[in-house]
């Protein structure tokens, strides 16, 4: 059966990688030159697309689905 493919935007992948490094929304916003509200929007989209309830579950699901790897660190 497996996991269905998840289509993430390039920006969502950037936000996901920075979240996995422990950055908060404000820090991610500064790093990507976007507003914290935009980061929050991407976070919500990531949670929805990966069917996750919180950031910890999001990161775990992303690793299990191959969206993140140790090499991304």
Please give the domain boundaries of the chain with CATH numbers for all domains: 10-66 (1.10.10.10)
pLDDT at 13: 96
Instruction: Return the structure tokens found at 37.
Output: 């509200």
Which whole-number Å values give the CA distances from 4 to 9, 15, 65, in the listed order? Answer: 16, 21, 9
pTM for the model stands at 0.90
User: What is the rounded average pLDDT of the residues 16-25?
Assistant: 96
pLDDT at 5: 78
pLDDT at 73: 58
Kindly report, residue by residue over 33-73, the tens digit of the pLDDT. Answer: 999 999 999 999 999 999 999 999 999 999 999 999 887 65
6 dihedral zone (left: phi>0; alpha: psi -120 to 50; beta): beta
**Block residue for tokens 């790897």:** 69
């Amino acid at each position: 059966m497996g996991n269905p493919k998840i289509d993430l935007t390039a920006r969502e992948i950037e936000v996901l990688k920075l979240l996995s490094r422990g950055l908060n929304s404000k820090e991610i916003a500064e790093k990507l030159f976007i507003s914290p509200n935009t980061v929050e929007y991407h976070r919500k989209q990531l949670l929805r697309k990966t069917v996750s309830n919180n950031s910890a579950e999001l990161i775990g699901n992303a690793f299990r689905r191959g969206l993140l790897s140790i090499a991304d660190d």
